[in-house]
């Protein structure tokens, strides 16, 4: 919907029955979900139209989705996709309620089901990154994250990296790295956490360099299919990459490659990693991964013998 005049829009929306108004705003926001800039703008407008006094009614639609609007029937065919769009829209609207949304977000993190917990953690971290109840949120996360399900903890360890310059956040990342490295080393969780530590504070990766090299050269990773999408998305910390892994029977060696490429970003030259990258380059088919390996080889070639 095109808004020529924001004030006139709000005058019109005030005349709608409240439940119709809320549904309209959720749909009008959701329809923009594939255009990030417009989606964010529309969520902000929706928050003003709905009003903070109706925040609990809005939240009610997270678990009680309304019948599809006509525009949704052709764009979001599956029920799973439809519910996901509705929930993403509601949470983005909640972001624009700022401080008023935080008690509800905390409640959802502690007492809702997994997809809601994950989305609530995302938004509360986004708010904290904008200095909205930052210290209180850091304390809340530190006090409660250990009690959350694994499926919530893993994406949360990415979300918290938005809250910069906090020793507590760095401590959380270190705590979970030590846990997953020691108890679940064969999975890629430790590598994923190291990527987040580096994203958070590049200097903080120093004590983990030798472990990272071991991940690249020696560790045989086991698959964790239900979460590999989250982890692969962060290959080399390049969040916008869509990497096609269909050429591989197992994700395991891809995690060795992830570790080697990550290591090559940090260390100017290492003979062992260099030789391994050259070997992988000859056998890897996926063009995106092959290009990343080639770039690392060029870097190491330039430093060889220097």
pLDDT for 243 equals 34
- What pLDDT, on a 0 to 100 scale, did the predictor assign at position 41? 97
- Residue 64's pLDDT is 76
DSSP H stretches of helix in 96-245: 102-111, 114-129, 134-144, 150-159, 167-183, 189-200, 209-217, 225-233
Residue showing tokens 């409640």? 107
* Structure tokens given for 46: 């929706």
- Write the CB contacts of 195 (distance below 8 Å, at least 6 apart in sequence): 234, 236, 237, 262
Residue 126 in contact with residue 163, Cβ under 8 Å? no
pLDDT value at position 192?
92
pLDDT number for residue 224: 58
Distance of alpha carbon 152 from alpha carbon 76, whole angstroms:
25
Whole-prediction pTM = 0.83
pLDDT in the model for residue 78: 62
Residue ranges in the chain whose pLDDT is less than 50: 1-10, 12-14, 225-250
Q: In the prediction, which pLDDT does 3 show?
A: 38
Which pLDDT belongs to residue 76? 62
Residues 6+ positions from 99 with CB-CB distance below 8 Å: 132, 133
* pLDDT the model gives residue 249: 36
CA distance 154 to 121: 11
What was the pLDDT predicted at 164?
96
CA distances from 303 to 32, 269, 300 (A): 47, 6, 5
pLDDT for residue 1: 34
Residues 282 and 239: their CA atoms lie apart, in Å, by 26
pLDDT at 72: 62
Q: DSSP assignment of 173-193, as one string?
A: HHHHHHHHHHHSTTSTHHHHH
């Amino acid at each position: 919907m095109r808004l020529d005049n924001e004030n006139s829009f709000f005058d019109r929306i005030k005349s709608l029955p409240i439940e119709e108004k809320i549904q309209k705003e959720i749909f009008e926001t959701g329809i923009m979900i594939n255009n990030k800039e417009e989606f964010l703008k529309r969520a902000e407008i929706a928050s003003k139209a709905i009003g903070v006094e109706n925040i609990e009614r809005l939240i009610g639609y997270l678990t009680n989705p309304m019948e599809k609007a006509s525009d949704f029937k052709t764009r979001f065919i599956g029920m799973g996709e439809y519910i996901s769009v509705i929930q993403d829209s509601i949470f983005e609207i909640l972001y624009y309620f700022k401080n008023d949304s935080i008690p509800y977000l905390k409640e959802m993190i502690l007492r809702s089901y997994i997809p809601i917990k994950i989305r609530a953690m995302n938004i509360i971290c986004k708010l904290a990154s904008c200095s909205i109840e930052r210290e209180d949120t850091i304390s809340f996360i530190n006090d409660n994250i250990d009690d959350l399900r694994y499926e919530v903890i893993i994406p949360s360890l990415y979300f918290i990296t938005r809250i910069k310059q906090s020793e507590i956040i760095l401590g959380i990342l270190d705590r979970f790295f030590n846990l997953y490295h020691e108890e679940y080393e064969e999975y890629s969780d430790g590598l994923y956490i190291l990527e987040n530590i580096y994203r958070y504070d590049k200097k903080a990766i120093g004590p983990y360099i030798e472990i990272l090299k071991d991940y690249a050269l020696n560790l045989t990773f086991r698959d964790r299919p239900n979460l590999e999408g989250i982890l692969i998305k962060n290959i080399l910390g390049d969040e916008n990459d869509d990497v096609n892994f269909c050429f591989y029977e197992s994700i395991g060696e891809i995690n060795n490659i992830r570790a080697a490429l990550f290591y090559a970003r940090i260390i100017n030259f290492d003979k062992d990693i260099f030789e391994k990258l050259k070997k992988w380059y000859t056998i890897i088919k996926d063009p995106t991964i092959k290009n990343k390996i080639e770039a690392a080889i060029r870097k190491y070639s330039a430093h060889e013998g220097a």
